[in-house]
Structure formats: structure tokens, C-alpha cells
Structure 1
């Protein structure tokens, strides 16, 4: 008799999950990364260029709200939901190859991609937190690190593909499709909990539970700067470098720096997760918020100056801008009923990305009015708000412990 295959363990499942997350999230910044090459081949208005980027955020918010209110991450097998959404998102992204760049169908495809990625990122978090409690900060940190590397990869693909933006889109679509199939091989951890029925009131925990509410507040402060920085730092850096090098060299340097800054956040996120389980998730979040806010201010002060100095400031900013994200999600999971954690983390991301829809769209407009340094100073307000929320949560936890 042939024995049944053994279910994957913790390390194998997390490795599979991280690989699937990197592959799936490679779709996020695809249009922003290849936009310079698209606009050199097709005439795309400034407003439609912005819509191509912000449509992903809008779609994600719509998808996340739908998944959260229906409780799908807690009611369905999260691996199957992840797989279905990743494969469908890959197909939506691939449709950019046959639609007019900047046209209505292309913008609709980006919206659909964002909506489907709401079944990848937060659902992946649901799977990850089921594998532990004492090391939850590290588990979520690893997954958010994978998310970040995936989000950074379009910039690298755009560099490797040169002016052939179709190649970059094709590779990202194939990777996401493969990642969706791969996640089905992961296992579910001993702390995984599911809900057998639809509970609309589960979302009420976001307001009624004070600790969850403060974790949400910190997350919103963090999201105020995160995606605006990620989406536009490559362009902003290239403008900063133009006084020191040719336009084409400045664009290439900006792309490479954007990849490096985003990837640095992914690495720092994993490191932050290691310390979060030792010194406290709130403490790691506060440190990250202080450094990221300072990085935004430093980038504003060095903008247009010697490129090496601006590069250092942006890399520090990029490294510090992300480690707190994982801890906000882990804090929501810690303070939520286990059978509601998936829905509440999904709702958390919905609120955060609703905010980014505004900030990503407004950033280039404000840059035209105030200059890029002025925008960076405005971005630093978010970390200040997040610090306040985390100090409140930390004091609340110490009083009740």
C-alpha cells in the first residue's frame, strides 16, 4: 500500500507561500515601470498615465472590501482563493499585450488586476499567521518582504527588457500564473481558523476593538507615504539626477534606484520581524516610522544635489518605510478573534489602499504645484500620525499586561 504524501511542514509551506507572493505581486507596478517605454511608442495623456497606476489601487480597494465583507479569507480554503485570484490576475495583466496602451480596456485591466490581487496579499497573510503565534512578527515580516520584492520586480524587468515593454509584461504574467498554481502545494498551520458562515458583524471588530482600531490607525499613517513613494520615487529621482547626467542616464538611474529602495524595504522587513518578536511589534513599528519620516525629510533636503547623497537618503527611506507594515498586520492578527483575523486584515488593507488611491493620484499634481521636495515633506506627516497611534497602543498593552 502506497502511503499518503505527507503535508508540507512550516518551513516548506512558508517558502512556497513567499515564492507565490513574489510572483503574484510582480503585477502591481507593471504599468508604472514600463510607462516611459509605452509613452515613447504611443501618445498617452498625463491623466491616463495616472489612471493606469491608480486603477490598481482602486481595484484593490474594491476587491478587498468585497472579500472582507463576505468573509471569504476566513470561509474558504485560503490557498484555493489565492490560486484563483493569482491566475486570474495574470490573465488580466497579459491582456495589456493586446489592448491599446492607456485606453479604456487597459485601464479596466489594471483595475481588475488590483481587485484580484486583494485575494493574493491579505489572503497570503491569513495563511502565514496560521503557522505561529510567538514568531508571528517574523512570519508576517517574511511575507511582506516577499510582497515588497515582488512589487519591486517590475522595475528590474523593465531594465532587463530595455525598450521592449511587452517582454516585461509577459514575464510578470507568466510568473504570477505559476505562483498561483504553486501556492496549492502549501499547507495550513496549526493556528489556522476558519469561519463556517458569513458574519458581516466581524468587520465591527475594526471599530469596537480598541487595540485593532489603533493598529489600523498606525497602518493608515504608514500607507500615507508608502505607495506614493513607491509609485513615483523612480520618476522623482530621475528628475533630481537630470542636472548631473543626461536624460536617458537619469531615467535608467531612477529605475534602478526605485528597485533598490523598494527591495531594501523587503529585506529590512524580514530583519524587523526578527526583532519584533523580541522587543515588541509596536517598538519596531515606532522605530521604522521615525526613520522613514526622517528619510522623507532628508530626501527633500538633498533633492537636486549630488546624486550619491540623494541615493543614500532614498535607500534609507526605502529600507525604513516597510518594516512597520508587517507589524501592523501582525498586531491586527494578535488582537482579533482567530476566525475573523483574515477578514479584518483584508479590511485593513482595503482602508489603507483606499488612502493610497488618493495619495498616488495626488502626488504628481502636488509635485507640479509644490515641487518634489515639498511633496516629500507632506509625506512625512503620515509617520508622525502612526507614531502617535503606536505609542497609544503600547501604553494600552503595558497597562493591561
Structure 2
């Protein structure tokens, strides 16, 4: 039995948090970007989709070239962190237009492909047993990193939008340094002997892998659209209930960040009742929240509405590390990196469709009932997991 130093998991978690702070940096400062660069009302959806599209492109290329299965994951993580941090700084350019901002966010997303799934691959190379719990901490770090820019822009701080960009780029650089200097390649790593472009298709021939992947795809339809439009949901509530003032950046941070607790709880629960059952439980709760959203938005008291969002924020991400665990456990060791990366690529492609569709619906239909559309994802995921496949 391989003894893993106790510092390894905390270091991977800290590095993941630092680097994924790049993800929603643009969303947290959207009003500032709109003011400084004269952006239109659809810029939130476009910029969010741009970083998602960059991530999709990066993960697809990484998977196609089997990079994380052929090269040192720690080095891939480090290089990606530096490049992602650098392109994030491009947002500070004073002559930016919508197109240049879209380009910088795309490139930031592209190199996040060498951070998020690669971080999971590093964890899988260290923790053969208890992988679900380990990945729960790791995805929890992603959640905190995603929410962190909202905290920086909340009323509890007075920093400028430029400082938000500087801080997130600095954190990403630090996270990369942590991995390359303190987290060597894991004992269960098994590098693929050669480049194999057919590996993407090969993993999907496995019915157990497909069930886990399709469950993840349903989960992703809901997740990032919910995260991206939490501020919109809170703003809509204040407009419907006159006289109520909410600290929207702080609440947005809280609703997203609470998912960290959801991930950790899900990881511990999965050790008692199993990974698949826990994933079904979390996916069911988030699907119910989608359906209940119009009632709470229109009729809920402020306290009840915020509690509802907290529950939703916990459930919507709790199943993510569990799906990644199922994916990693149902492929060959030398294919784990590619499997995790291609599933991320397709999953995030789905988020673009969901986000752009949601942006369109907001412009043309009553916002009160729109979040019920997100229930399509959990329903699809539950159907996929409900098949008689022993995961």
C-alpha cells in the first residue's frame, strides 16, 4: 500500500482554488467592464460563453492529443496556470473592445483546460481508494475559486475591478508554483506509451463510462447557467419585491461558495451509501429546485428565498466530483486523463448551449419562470443513471 503524504491533498486543493479564481473573474466585474468598454446588455452571456468555449476547445485538444496521459500532469498544470494568468491580465488593456475581451476570456478558458481536469488527474494518481472524497475536496476548491471574484467585488471590499484581475492572476500563478514545486507526479500515474488519437472514441464504447458521462452532461446543463445567472436571479427578486435591498455580489458569492460544503458532504455521504446513489440524491434535489424557482421567486419571503438558493447552491455542484469519480473508475488507468478531459470538454460545450439559450430567453420572455428550463439537465442525468448498469 502506497503511503501518500498528508500535505498532498491540501496542496492540490489550494492550487485548484487559486487557479480557478480566473474562471468567473469577468462575471464579477461585468458592470465595470460594461461601463469602461461600452458593452451591450448581452455581454454577460457572451463573455461567460467565451471562457466556456475556450475551455471546451482546450479540453478537446488536450484529449485529442492525450496530453495529460503522455506528459507530467504537474508540468501541464504549471504551464497552463502561468498562461491562463497572463491572458487574464489582458482584460486590463485600456483599448479593449468586446471582441478583444472575448479573445482574452477565450484564451483564459483554453488554459483552464490544463488546470481543472488535470488537477483531478493528479488527485487520481495519488488516491486510488477514497477518490470520491478526494475529488469532492478538489471540486469544492473549484467552487470557492469560481465564487471568489464575487467576494472581491462585494460591499465588504472597496477594491477596483482592475485589482480583481490582478489578484486572480496572482493567485493562479501561485497555484501553478505550488503544484510544480510541491506536488510531484503521483505513485499511481501510468503514462500512455504513445499518442493515440482513437482513445476518445474507445472510452465511449464502455457502457459504464457512458452512463457516468451522460449523468455528468445532464448536471452540466444546469450548473454553469445557474452560477452565471445567480446575480440576475437576485436582482429579479429585488425588482419583484419593492423596498428590499440585497447585497447581490455578497449573496452571489455565498450561493456559489456554499457548494463547497455540498461537495464535501457529498464525498462523505458517498462513502456510506455509494457514489452513484449520492449523485442521484444531489441531482434530484437540484432538479426540484429548478421546478420550485418560480414559486420562491414570486411568493417567497426574503429569508426563505435566500435559504432556497443556499440549498440549490449546495445541491447543484455536490454531484460533480461524484460523476468525475465514476468516470475515472470506469476506464483503464492509462486513459483516465483523456477520459476526464473529454467528458469535461463535452460537458462544458453543453454549458454554452444552456447559457446562450438562457440569455436569449431572458431577452424575449418573462424571467419569472425561466429557471425551470434548467430542470431538463437533471432529468436527463437521472434517466442516464437510472439504467440498470452497475456503477
Q: TM-score, normalised by structure 2?
A: 0.94
Partner of 1:195: 192
Q: How does 1:272-311 map to 2 (within 5 A)?
A: 272-305=266-299, 306-311=301-306
CA contact (8 A) 1:17 1:183 kept: yes
Partners of 2:241 and 2:36 lie apart in 1 by 27
Match for residue 4 of structure 1? none
Root-mean-square deviation over aligned CA pairs: 1.9
What is the CA–CA distance in structure 1 between the aligned matches of 2:25 and 2:191, rounded to whole Å? 33
Q: Is the 8 A contact 1:75 1:197 kept in 2?
A: yes
Q: What residue number does 1:225 align with?
A: 222
Aligned partners of 1:39 and 1:388: how far apart in 2?
A: 41
1:12 aligned to 2:4?
A: no
| Structure 1 segments unaligned to the other structure (5+ residues) | 1-7
Tell me by how many angstroms 1:99 deviates: 4.3
Q: Could you say which residue in structure 1 is the equivalent of 2:177?
A: 181
* CA gap 1:284/1:102 in 2 versus in 1, 3 angstroms: farther
- Superimposed CA distance per residue, residues 213-236 of structure 1 (whole angstroms, 9 cap, x where no aligned partner): 111110010001000000111122
The 10-residue stretch of structure 1 (379-388 or 341-350) with the greater mean CA deviation from structure 2: 379-388
2: CA distance, partners of 1:209 / 1:95 = 42
Following TM superposition, the consecutive aligned residue runs of length 4 or more in structure 1 with deviations greater than 6 angstroms are: none
Equivalent of residue 166 in structure 1, options 162, 166, 186: 162
1:300 Cα deviation from its structure 2 partner: 2.2
Deviations 1:260-305 (A, max 9, x none): 1111111110111112133111101000011111122222211144
> Corresponding residue for 1:371?
366
Partner of 1:360: 355
1:269 corresponding residue in structure 2: 263
CA 1:42/1:104 → structure 2, altered by over 3 Å: closer, same or farther? closer
1:238-259 Cα deviation digits (max 9, x unpaired): 1212344569x44xx2222221
Hey, what does 2:249 align to over in structure 1? 255
State how far apart, in whole Å, the 2-side matches of 1:212 and 1:205 are: 10
2:293–2:369 Cα contact (<8 Å) kept: no
Contact kept, 8 Å, 1:161 with 1:168, in 2: the verdict is no
- Bigger shift: residues 189-198 or 208-217: 189-198
Q: Distance in 2 between matches of 1:89 and 1:188?
A: 21
Determine the C-alpha separation between the residues in 1 that align with 2:94 and 2:174. Answer: 23
The more displaced of 278-287 and 101-110 is: 101-110
Query: CA–CA distance in 1 between the matches of 2:365 and 2:207?
Result: 37
Structure 1 partner of 2:232: 235
1:44 is paired with a residue of what secondary structure? coil
The match for 1:89 among 84, 97, 101 is: 84
Question: What is the distance in 1 between the residues matched to 2:197 and 2:11?
Answer: 31
Find the aligned partners of 2:96 and 2:40 in 1 and give their Cα distance: 11
Q: Deviations over 1:8-64 (max 9, x none)?
A: 944211111111100100010111110112323442112444322210000000000
Give the SS at the match of 2:101. Answer: helix
Shifted more, 367-376 versus 221-230: the winner is: 367-376
Q: CA deviation at 1:375?
A: 1.8
Q: Is 1:333 equivalent to 2:319 in the alignment?
A: no
- Are 2:140 and 1:145 equivalent residues in the alignment? yes
